[in-house]
Amino acid sequence: MERYCKVCFEKIKFSFLRNMIESKYSICSSCQEKIKVDFSSIKVDGVKIKFLSLYDGLLKNMLLSYKESNDFELRDSILYFFLPYIKLYSLNCIFVPIPSSKESNSKRGFNHLVEILKVHKLKYIDALENVSTKNQKELAANKRMNNKNIVINKNAYQLQDKKIILFDDVYTTGSTFISSVNAIKKISPKKIKGLIIMKNQFQIN
């Protein structure tokens, strides 16, 4: 069966090695090579965050097309390159997506992080809500740092004494991540760590 890259739309050339490892692939090898991998980590409020890539280049463009232009077909391509690593990192853990504002979800028509987790069959519980009416990008820097708009919902109590991974797409100031940590700590999970797809290197010292 012929396959076409969901990024450049070129026909994907057959690779015996990829065919052995991957059941199906949606990105060609040429596009894969353009992804700027960065497996760095930082600690925020005692929680280790692992990054996958820099907020730059091809992956950034893919994410923006998916989130801002509603290119829903890209949902299985954002994490695709990193899946083997993610499955090891998330062993015995439950993902908790960090929520967007209700305005963003309504405008988009879907929860972009939940859809990414669902398409890859990664175990998750949608346990947090963002009660802000404004998109994070619209807030001034000082208001971002005082972000207290993330709250737990009734699903959160399933996470008591469980190992969880707070999952987000881009780390900029860290305010939303910190707010999410503070909210999820209220139900006493066994362990909290973070996985964020892209790091905005110009915002992290």
3-state secondary structure the chain: CCCECCCCCCECCCCHHHHHHCCCCCCCHHHHCCCCECCCEEEECCEEEEEEEECCHHHHHHHHHHHCCCCHHHHHCCCHHHHHHHHHHCCCCEEEECCCEHHHHHHHCCCHHHHHHHHCCCCECCCEEECCCCCHHHCCHHHHHCCCCEEECHHHHHHCCCEEEEEEEEECCCHHHHHHHHHHHHHCCCEEEEEEEEECCCCCC
pLDDT over 90 percentage in the chain: 63
The model's pLDDT over 85-140, given as tens digits with 9 standing for 90+, comes to 999 999 999 999 999 988 888 888 899 999 999 999 999 999 999 987 665 555 55
Do 21 and 74 lie in one domain? The reply is: no
Q: In which band, very low, low, confident or very high, does the pLDDT at 46 lie, cut at 50, 70 and 90?
A: very high
Q: Which domain holds residue 190?
A: 35-199
The model's pLDDT over 183-201, given as tens digits with 9 standing for 90+, comes to 999 999 999 999 999 998 6
What is the pLDDT, as a whole number, of residue 79? Answer: 92
Within a domain: residue 205?
Answer: no
Q: Provide the whole-model pTM.
A: 0.87
Do 48 and 66 lie in one domain? The reply is: yes
Do 57 and 27 lie in one domain? The reply is: no
Do 138 and 178 lie in one domain? The reply is: yes
Within a domain: residue 68?
Answer: yes
**CATH classification at residue 129:** 3.40.50
Do 69 and 5 lie in one domain? The reply is: no
Indicate the number of domains in the chain: 2
The mean per-residue pLDDT over the stretch 169-173 comes to 94
Q: In which band, very low, low, confident or very high, does the pLDDT at 80 lie, cut at 50, 70 and 90?
A: confident
Q: In which band, very low, low, confident or very high, does the pLDDT at 147 lie, cut at 50, 70 and 90?
A: low
Do 13 and 94 lie in one domain? The reply is: no
Within a domain: residue 179?
Answer: yes
Average model confidence (pLDDT) across the chain: 87
The model's pLDDT over 54-65, given as tens digits with 9 standing for 90+, comes to 999 999 999 999
Do 64 and 143 lie in one domain? The reply is: yes
